[in-house]
Amino acid sequence: MVAIAGWLTTQAQSMPAPERYNEFLEQMAKMDQKKAEFLMNATMETLSKDPKAYRQMMELAEKRFSDAADPIHNEGLYMAVLKHTTEKYILSGAEIEKQRLLLEGAKKNMIGSVAADFDYVTPDDKAVHHLKDLKANYILVYFNNPDCESCEKVKERLSTSELINKMVNDKKLVVLGVYPYDDQKLWKKAKYPKMMINGWNQSRQIEYAELYDLPTLPCFYLLDKDYKVLAKNEGSLNKIEALLNVLTTASVAGPAPAPETGKPSKVIEGSPKRQSKQRPTAPGSEKVKNGNGEFDPAMQPAPKEKIRPVRPEPGPETPILAPADDPNTARSEMLLNLMLNNQSQELYSYLDDNMKATTQPETFDGVITKAEGQLGKYQSHEPWKIQSLRGAKVYTSMMKFENSEAGLVIMYTPDGKVTGFSILPPQAIRH
């Protein structure tokens, strides 16, 4: 780790001049998330020797990484900047306080946490509804303002999105549009696609209680069926569609072929070695003598084969591809992403109570990084499968690294809590 830190610091010191910081940030956004966050921190540390350059990088990084409409919007890198600016004493007291408030906002509804509930009304009735009344595999919350040109364009895109509409029609996705501000007349005049619930936060709880950090509109929050945040403050519908594609691409495997009907297989009892030396005389058969007229057991006719049905030995079940609409398929994909991004605290939040009692979030620091130290850089993974290992139903996937492979195994409780996961040699899960 010391060697890596030294290398990253060297990269920060050779960073482009302030006028090229923008190019630097765009390159960093393409890197592995964990390494990028580490490099962002190292960069801010290096620039701390020059307060002017430090502020230039801080302002540009916040602008690019916090704006949901920016192509390189990245909550993790944004928080890396905010953590450095609030923990170090480079800025003035007023500046640090501003950064602290921004950090508090960024921490709200973090990826992996349970989204804050809120109420809303619709034009169709006078009843008060809540976010957590919605039931679906995925919930897409679309924060918008009817008086916003970009919001209207995104609504048009939503209405024509083949993936979004198919998932809504299949009842796998609910799209909730939310207007969080106070102009009821403006909201009532606006038109929304039929596939979207048109909601208004009439209580103004979202704004007054600052339940959600909404730096720009429009923006999306994608939640799973347990209301855990999968994407936050995302301004790009393309990125939401890409994430939904990743979460739902696993295909359903057909049932295993039935065994052929007919007579049961034959099994000859007794070992071949014993039969060749001590073959017993079959009932009713004549004894055969050798050339010297002597009785030779080895020359006696073989007994009739005893037939009994084959009883398969108990063993691991053949793995099947996990169904696309299986909630644990999406959970497994999300947990792997948390591991790849080294988000150990968020990963810890998915554990069941028994496992939480025996472990700490720090246990999961660098899970994938440690594997990369032996297997090379992580590349991709195969679709999730369900199989039986040591009598337990688990979700498995073969991970591809630069130099080798490894199997990822995740175990769940019936209500979707994680009871354990392991990275195993490929032969442990491959059949």
CATH superfamily of the domain spanning 119-240: Glutaredoxin (3.40.30.10)
Q: Which residues contact 299 (CB under 8 A, 6 or more apart)?
A: 288, 289, 290
The beta strands (E) that lie in 298-349 are given as: 320-321
First to last CA, the chain: 37
CA 346 to each of CA 111, 141, 336: distance values in angstroms, whole numbers, following the listed order: 7, 21, 12
pLDDT for 134 equals 96
pLDDT for 301 equals 52
In one-letter notation, the amino acid at residue 88 is K
Topology annotation, domain 320-428:
Nuclear Transport Factor 2; Chain: A, (3.10.450)
Compute φ and ψ for 43, nearest 5 degrees. Answer: -65, -45
Locate 397 and state its tokens: 């996937």
> What is the β-pairing status of strands 385-389 and 392-401?
antiparallel
Give the pLDDT confidence of 383-399 residue by residue, as tens digits.
Answer: 898 877 655 678 889 99
* Residue whose C-alpha is closest to residue 154's, from 188, 177, 120, 174: 177
Q: What average pLDDT does the structure give for the chain?
A: 79
b/e per residue, 140-160, with b = 16+ CB within 10 A? bbbbbbbeeeebbebbeebee
Q: Hey, where are the domains in the chain?
A: 2-107, 119-240, 320-428
Check whether 293 has a pLDDT greater than 50: yes
Give the pLDDT confidence of 184-220 residue by residue, as tens digits.
Answer: 999 999 999 999 999 999 999 998 888 998 878 999 9
Locate 219 and state its tokens: 């923006």
Determine the number of helices (DSSP H) and then strands (DSSP E) in the chain: 16, 13
* Residue whose C-alpha is closest to residue 109's, from 272, 263, 253, 234: 234
pLDDT for 31 equals 82
The DSSP symbol for 111 reads T
Is pTM, for the whole model, over 0.85?
A: no
